[in-house]
Homo-oligomer: A and B are copies of this chain.
Amino acid sequence: MKNRLKVLRAEHDMTQAQLADETGVSRQTINAIEKGKFDPSLPLAFRFAKLFKLKIEEIFQDEE
C-alpha cells in the first residue's frame, strides 16, 4: 500500500506534526505511515481524504 501523504503535505505546506494534529494522531504515526511501516486504519484514511478533499484511492494505492 503506497501513499502520497508526503507530497500532499508538501503541496499544503504542512509538517508531519501539523498533519498529525489535524487528523488526531501522533507525529510518529504520520511518519510511520509515510515511511511505509504500516497502513493507517480505515477511519484515519477517511480523515486524510476529508482534509485533502480527495478520494481515498487518490491518496492510497494498492501496490498489487
Shortest Cβ gap from A27 to chain B (Å): 20
CB distance from A5 to the nearest CB of B (A): 13
Copies in the complex: 2
Q: Scan A20-64; emit 1 where CB is below 8 A from any B CB, else 0.
A: 000000000000000000011111011001100001110010100
- Distance in Å: Cβ of A1 to nearest Cβ of chain B: 6
Query: Measuring CB to CB, which residues of chain A are less than 8 angstroms from any residue of chain B?
Result: 1, 39-43, 45-46, 49-50, 55-57, 60, 62
The residues of B that contact A42 with a CB separation of less than 8 Å are 1, 39-42, 45, 56, 60
- 9 of the cross-chain contacts (CB-CB < 8 Å) are A39-B41, A39-B42, A39-B43, A42-B45, A45-B56, A46-B60, A49-B57, A55-B55, A55-B56
